[in-house]
Amino acid sequence: MAVSPRETMVGIWKYCWRGMACASLLLMMVVCIAAAAPDARFFRIGTAATGGSFFEIGGVVAGAISGPTGGPACGHGGSCGVPGLVAVAQATPGSIENLRLINSGQIESGFAQADLAGWAYHGSKIFAEAGPQRQLRTIASLFPEAAHLVVRADSPIHKLADLKGKRVSIGESGSGTAADAVVFLSSAGFREKDLTRKFLRPGPAAEELKAGEIDAFFLVGGYPVPAIRDLASTIPIRLVPFDDALLEKLKKDFSFYHRAAIPAGLYPGIDSETVSLGFYALWLVNADVEADLVYAITQSLWHQGTRRLLDALDPLGKRIQLSEALNGLSVPLHPGAVRFYREQGLPVENAPRAADAGGSEQKQP
């Protein structure tokens, strides 16, 4: 697929600038030096807004799969990424926008929630008007996610029903959080006029809750979510649980949802488990990306060198495991990923199958 050199270089240097502040200097040097190589090949990963788990993981994954030309060999102080590849973690509004960009070929890959990815691929639910997005393929299931409803510790909000009449951020427009929040509120019986909705990124939502300008905010992500963790270190907060009746209704209507529990102790001051709704975070790629390249990227993702980088991002990075790579898939695997997982002895035959142009299912390659 065509990649705009200007777009890519702008994204790289933005990523390098951010990275110097939020990741290890060594990791960022690998990506930035690789960008300067004349034969470098660029590969974008759509993540989400800063402050969310997608952006945090995206920087690590991008650095891990990048392979600068002419550097030390893998295992001898050099990168174990794909030779000549420069991967860039690109900030986006989130899952909904990532799915659109990947399907249209505007970026090569990105992260998205499994529920939304499945609806997009089949053209159902909120994607019914746009129709099936058949260019979507999966590289891996990365980690479990959960819905967070955050309030101040002294808030009168103890269940979703208490949001009536309140000021609530439901997430940035185009994000998975916003799409899921609409589903949650609708299933709980809320109408548009029943609460004041704001569409804020994670950081601004946390700041407005802290300042008392909103009463609650939704945020979906792998836990602990950085923005919530940082907020909890400055003011006392609570997570509002999902009640069993709503959980059962959502699970019945939306097959990719499952009951989840956000463990105690992940966020400062929150010492009890919180019942929530969960699904998996997927790394998706456009179907037209070459199979050999996706095979090499998948191989780099699960390389022992990447394992060390992921383990350093505790606890979220430690949840990204090869043994869990096919969990919760809602979109067919890319043929390059199929090849790698088949070599590892994983049950690729159980993954969703690609639909042909007529809508029927094809066998996994």
Given a cut of 80, whether residue 173 has pLDDT beyond it is yes
Cα(205)–Cα(120) distance, integer angstroms? 27
Q: What are the structural domains, with CATH classification, of the chain?
A: 5-143+281-350 (3.40.190.10), 145-279 (3.40.190.10)
The average pLDDT across 142-155 equals 97
Where does the pLDDT of residue 252 fall: very low under 50, low under 70, confident under 90, or very high at 90 and above?
A: confident
Cα(153)–Cα(155) distance, integer angstroms? 6
Each residue's pLDDT tens digit, 198-234: 999 999 999 999 999 999 999 999 999 999 999 999 9
The average pLDDT across 307-332 equals 95
Where does the pLDDT of residue 21 fall: very low under 50, low under 70, confident under 90, or very high at 90 and above?
A: very low
Helix crossing, 53-65 with 25-35: angle to 10°? Answer: 60
**Rounded percentage of the chain residues whose pLDDT exceeds 90:** 77
Q: What is the pLDDT of residue 79?
A: 78
Residues 273, 260 contacting (CB under 8 angstroms)? no
The average pLDDT across 127-145 equals 96
Closest by Cα among 357, 307, 363, 365 to 336: 365
Where does the pLDDT of residue 13 fall: very low under 50, low under 70, confident under 90, or very high at 90 and above?
A: very low
* Other CB atoms within 10 Å distance of the CB of residue 268: 17
Q: Which residue has the higher pLDDT, 18 or 256?
A: 256
Q: What is the pLDDT of residue 80?
A: 87
Each residue's pLDDT tens digit, 70-123: 777 787 777 789 999 999 999 999 999 999 999 999 999 999 999 999 999 999
Where does the pLDDT of residue 32 fall: very low under 50, low under 70, confident under 90, or very high at 90 and above?
A: low
Q: What is the pLDDT of residue 144?
A: 94
Report pTM.
0.85
Where does the pLDDT of residue 355 fall: very low under 50, low under 70, confident under 90, or very high at 90 and above?
A: confident
Q: What is the pLDDT of residue 157?
A: 98
Each residue's pLDDT tens digit, 274-293: 999 999 999 999 999 999 99
CA atoms within 13 A on the CB side of 31: 31
SS (H, E, C) the chain: CCCCHHHHHHHHHHHHHHHHHHCCHHHHHHHHHHHCCCCCEEEEEECCCCCCHHHHHHHHHHHHHEECCCCCCECCCECCCEECEEEEEECCCCHHHHHHHHHCCCCCEEEEEHHHHHHHHHCCHHHCCCCCCCCEEEEEEEEEEEEEEEEECCCCCCCHHHHCCCEEECCCCCCHHHHHHHHHHHHCCCCHHHCEEECCCHHHHHHHHHHCCCCEEEEEECCCCHHHHHHHCCCCEEECCCCHHHHHHHHHHCCCCEEEEECCCCCCCCCCCEEEEEEEEEEEEECCCCHHHHHHHHHHHCCHHHHHHHHCCCCCHHHCCHHHCCCCCCCCECHHHHHHHHHCCCCHHHCCCCECCCCCECCCC
